[in-house]
Chains A and B, each alone.
Chain A
Amino acid sequence: MSTSSRPLLEVRNLRVEFNTRRGTLTAIDDVSFEIAPGEVLGLVGESGAGKSITGTAIIGLLEPPGRVAGGEIHLDGQRIDTLPAEQMRRIRGRQIGAIFQDPLTSLNPLYTIGRQITETIQTHLPMNARQARERAVALLKEVGIPAAERRIDHYPHQFSGGMRQRVVIALALCANPRLIIADEPTTALDVSIQAQIIQLLKKLCRDHGTAVMLVTHDMGVIAETADRVAVMYAGRLAEIGPVQEVIHHPKHPYSVGLMGSIPAIGQEVERLPQIEGSMPRLDAIPRGCAYNPRCPDVFERCRTQRPNLMPAGATRAACWLHARDGEASPGNRAEDSAHA
């Protein structure tokens, strides 16, 4: 944490569970992080690591049987995970905007984009129809839609994928939220468009002072955009720290493996290194460190005791390799809940 001011978003020991017929699955387990005002936090990890669920939990849109089973989420000092549905609704869009993965399916096909934008503006801001429309046109111009005055009355299917993602960004920004949760905002787009959209998102958030939680598995996007990065594995945080540190000097063996598998230009390799094995299923997360069966540096303690985040160089990593010799770091608790 670089800034001294109060964090905008504070997630403490978040735990998300899914009750299924075969028992309770823990999708997010004891995840804590903070986002400062205006900061971009990248959230990376393999598919199924719990990145999107973290985002969904923050905006309070987990679908049953998923539920926040523990921990706290604070927005600007206010606890939001226990708010009544109606108050949480007012926060969504107004305080926390969201951008989803697929712009082709994020917009209602039966309404013009103008209607969808003005509807959102008027839900959150005290504006009449004309003011809302003016604001919508201004937003569309800002996200780079050419001929916005005319295009505002067009339907989503009349826009290309990249243009639609611009509209989605305009929708997320339309009530000037303080935080945007962008869930894989470029994954569904052409490679040639991805950079444009990321640049746009970055610029807009800088202009508006909006903080971003950028969920992605694209390390290139993270390197280019994020201030800090959090690496998730099997619903837990493996490492969190400044982006350059995590990319160039990863401390957790999983981060090391993840960064090692990124191809570098100008580097001749026969095959890219890969991490052996696969992420455990939610109903079979191993005791101790969740990564221990795949970890090249595993030792006895990793199999029995679960590591919490601990300082490791310039980052913080949940790995016993970085425990100070001999002593169990304060706050580290033995894994007492038996995992099947």
Chain B
Amino acid sequence: MIAFVIRRLLQGVLVMLVVGFIAFSLFNFVGDPVSLMLPPEATQADRQAMRENLGLDRPFYVQFATFIGNAVQGNFGISLRLGRPVSALLVERMPATLELAFVAASLALLVGIPLGVYTGLNRNAWLSRFFLAASLIGVSLPTFLIGIFLILIFAVWLGWLPSFGRGDTMMVGGWSTGFLSTSGLRALILPSITLGLFQLTLIMRLVRSEMLEVLRTDYIKFARARGLTNRAVNFGHALKNTLVPVITITGLQLGAIIAFAIITETVFQWPGMGLLFIQAVQFADIPVMAAYLCLIGFIFVVINLVVDMLYYFVDPRLRIDGTAAGGH
């Protein structure tokens, strides 16, 4: 287990170096930051001074090493657009995105898994067919369209829920949260549905097909032949065996929820990292883009590591084989 974790950590570091390199390349390939930062009437001397000031005249590998060194310390430079440290900007925006992602992921899991179990167990019930047909909408409609529809129905026509923003937020130890105010919670509803709907339908369909698969196995038949109750067979034996693929997909999807909150945040003007990133793209604000890229890469690496470790808790076969114990 320890060896496995260390190996995965080293792989993670390698992935982060590659991501860092791509982020770093942005500085050289997406426009010239100097011409963006200086007014059009700047002289050649001004340009040169700025170039030296930013270290852009130094060799490529020195610049990369400097970039990585700074990045590890959380220093991604100054936003070209806002003139403030990028790390401060990200930290400021992160709670909004993480809270949204958390609510969306919880929604996807808490609704998706039961629906998947239900439709798997009651394959031919009309309600199952309805859920399955409805889930096609979730899978096939683009996120922004769902968001716009929800705004149209619940914010414009019915006027029940706000159409943009986070509502009132409170600071809890440097973390601005929307969980503690009614308007904050109300503001979470539409964006989290928009963001979580695709994952919800994905998880539901995944759990359903895994359930169908597992219910056909011999050990389920044998469990029934031993007279175990339906409840014990379906939830004790079958559901647990569907969890390994569900954990994998859920983990990856959690990364995707955070990374692709961009669209939802844009539709709802949600003041999170995604919105920050979109605005940075429009302005070619390279430090912000690079930092965002590294952060998302980092989140994916961490989630993958956690997912791999969760397998150990779910599946005893990995536990034994991995530690070279047993001897039977």
Q: Which residues of A contact B (CB under 8 A)?
A: 59, 61, 89-94, 97-98, 100, 102, 105-112, 119-120, 123-124, 154-155, 157-160, 168, 171-172, 174-175
Which 9 pairs of residues, A with B, have the shortest CB-CB distance? A93-B227, A92-B227, A98-B225, A105-B218, A93-B226, A155-B316, A106-B222, A108-B219, A120-B226
Task: List the A side residues contacting B230 at CB < 8 Å.
Answer: 89
Task: List the A side residues contacting B39 at CB < 8 Å.
Answer: none
Given contacts A155-B316, A157-B317, A158-B320, contact A100 B227 (CB under 8 A): no
* B317 & A109 in contact (Cβ 8 Å cutoff): yes
* B217 & A105 in contact (Cβ 8 Å cutoff): yes
Given contacts A105-B218, A106-B218, contact A158 B228 (CB under 8 A): no
Query: B43 CB to closest chain A CB, in angstroms?
Result: 72
Given contacts A100-B221, A102-B218, A168-B222, contact A108 B241 (CB under 8 A): yes
* B227 & A91 in contact (Cβ 8 Å cutoff): yes
Q: Which chain B residues numbered 290 to 322 have a C-beta less than 8 Å away from chain A? A: 314-317, 320
Task: List the A side residues contacting B228 at CB < 8 Å.
Answer: 89, 93, 119-120, 123
Which of B222, B227, B232, B240 is within 8 Å of A107, CB to CB?
A: B222
Report the interface size class on chain B. 20 to 34
**CB 8 Å contact bits of B235-270 with A (1 = contact, 0 = none):** 011001100000000000000000000000000000
* B229 & A89 in contact (Cβ 8 Å cutoff): yes
Report the Cα distance A174→B315, complex, angstroms: 26
* A92 & B224 in contact (Cβ 8 Å cutoff): yes
Residue B111 interfacial (CB < 8 Å):
no
* A110 & B315 in contact (Cβ 8 Å cutoff): yes
Q: Which chain B residues numbered 46 to 69 have a C-beta less than 8 Å away from chain A? A: none
Residue of B nearest to A64 (CB): B124
Task: List the B side residues contacting A160 at CB < 8 Å.
Answer: 328
Residue B16 interfacial (CB < 8 Å):
no
Question: What are 24 A-B pairs with beta-carbon distances under 8 A?
Answer: A61-B221, A89-B230, A90-B227, A92-B224, A92-B225, A92-B227, A93-B227, A93-B228, A98-B222, A98-B225, A100-B218, A106-B218, A108-B219, A109-B219, A109-B241, A110-B314, A110-B315, A110-B316, A123-B229, A154-B328, A155-B320, A159-B328, A171-B222, A174-B226
Q: Which of B224, B230, B240, B241 has the most CB of A within 10 A?
A: B224
Task: List the A side residues contacting B316 at CB < 8 Å.
Answer: 109-110, 112, 155, 157
Task: List the A side residues contacting B222 at CB < 8 Å.
Answer: 98, 100, 106-107, 168, 171
* B227 & A89 in contact (Cβ 8 Å cutoff): yes
* A108 & B227 in contact (Cβ 8 Å cutoff): no
Report the Cα distance A90→B326, complex, angstroms: 37
Report the Cα distance A160→B326, complex, angstroms: 12
Report the Cα distance A105→B228, complex, angstroms: 17
Residue of B nearest to A160 (CB): B328
Task: List the A side residues contacting B240 at CB < 8 Å.
Answer: 110
Report the Cα distance A115→B223, complex, angstroms: 12
Task: List the B side residues contacting A112 at CB < 8 Å.
Answer: 316
Query: B314 CB to closest chain A CB, in angstroms?
Result: 7
Which of B221, B225, B227 is within 8 Å of A123, CB to CB?
A: B227
Task: List the A side residues contacting B320 at CB < 8 Å.
Answer: 155, 157-158
Task: List the B side residues contacting A89 at CB < 8 Å.
Answer: 224, 227-230
Residue of A nearest to B222 (CB): A106
Report the Cα distance A94→B229, complex, angstroms: 13
Which of A105, A109, A124, A159 is within 8 Å of B227, CB to CB?
A: A124
Task: List the A side residues contacting B217 at CB < 8 Å.
Answer: 105
Task: List the B side residues contacting A111 at CB < 8 Å.
Answer: 237
Task: List the B side residues contacting A100 at CB < 8 Å.
Answer: 218, 221-222, 225
Report the Cα distance A271→B63, complex, angstroms: 82
Task: List the B side residues contacting A168 at CB < 8 Å.
Answer: 222
Task: List the B side residues contacting A102 at CB < 8 Å.
Answer: 218
Report the Cα distance A249→B198, complex, angstroms: 69
Report the Cα distance A158→B241, complex, angstroms: 18
Task: List the B side residues contacting A119 at CB < 8 Å.
Answer: 228, 232, 236
* A106 & B326 in contact (Cβ 8 Å cutoff): no
Residue of A nearest to B223 (CB): A108
* B229 & A93 in contact (Cβ 8 Å cutoff): no
Task: List the B side residues contacting A110 at CB < 8 Å.
Answer: 240-241, 314-316
* B317 & A123 in contact (Cβ 8 Å cutoff): no
Task: List the B side residues contacting A108 at CB < 8 Å.
Answer: 219, 223, 237, 241
Task: List the A side residues contacting B218 at CB < 8 Å.
Answer: 100, 102, 105-106
Task: List the A side residues contacting B223 at CB < 8 Å.
Answer: 108
Task: List the B side residues contacting A107 at CB < 8 Å.
Answer: 219, 222
Query: B289 CB to closest chain A CB, in angstroms?
Result: 44
**CB 8 Å contact bits of B112-133 with A (1 = contact, 0 = none):** 0000000000000000000000
Given contacts A105-B218, A109-B316, contact A98 B226 (CB under 8 A): yes
Residue of A nearest to B314 (CB): A110
* A171 & B328 in contact (Cβ 8 Å cutoff): no
Report the Cα distance A91→B225, complex, angstroms: 9
Query: B75 CB to closest chain A CB, in angstroms?
Result: 46
* B226 & A171 in contact (Cβ 8 Å cutoff): yes
Report the Cα distance A112→B317, complex, angstroms: 11
Task: List the A side residues contacting B236 at CB < 8 Å.
Answer: 119
Query: A260 CB to closest chain B CB, in angstroms?
Result: 34
Residue of A nearest to B218 (CB): A105
Query: A170 CB to closest chain B CB, in angstroms?
Result: 11
Residue of A nearest to B225 (CB): A98
Given contacts A102-B218, A109-B317, contact A92 B241 (CB under 8 A): no
Which of B226, B232, B315 is within 8 Å of A92, CB to CB?
A: B226
* A105 & B219 in contact (Cβ 8 Å cutoff): yes
Residue of B nearest to A106 (CB): B222
* B315 & A123 in contact (Cβ 8 Å cutoff): no
Task: List the B side residues contacting A154 at CB < 8 Å.
Answer: 328
Query: B53 CB to closest chain A CB, in angstroms?
Result: 61
Report the Cα distance A112→B227, complex, angstroms: 18
**CB 8 Å contact bits of B87-131 with A (1 = contact, 0 = none):** 000000000000000000000000000000000000000000000
Q: Which of B219, B221, B320 has the most CB of A within 10 A?
A: B219
Query: A115 CB to closest chain B CB, in angstroms?
Result: 9
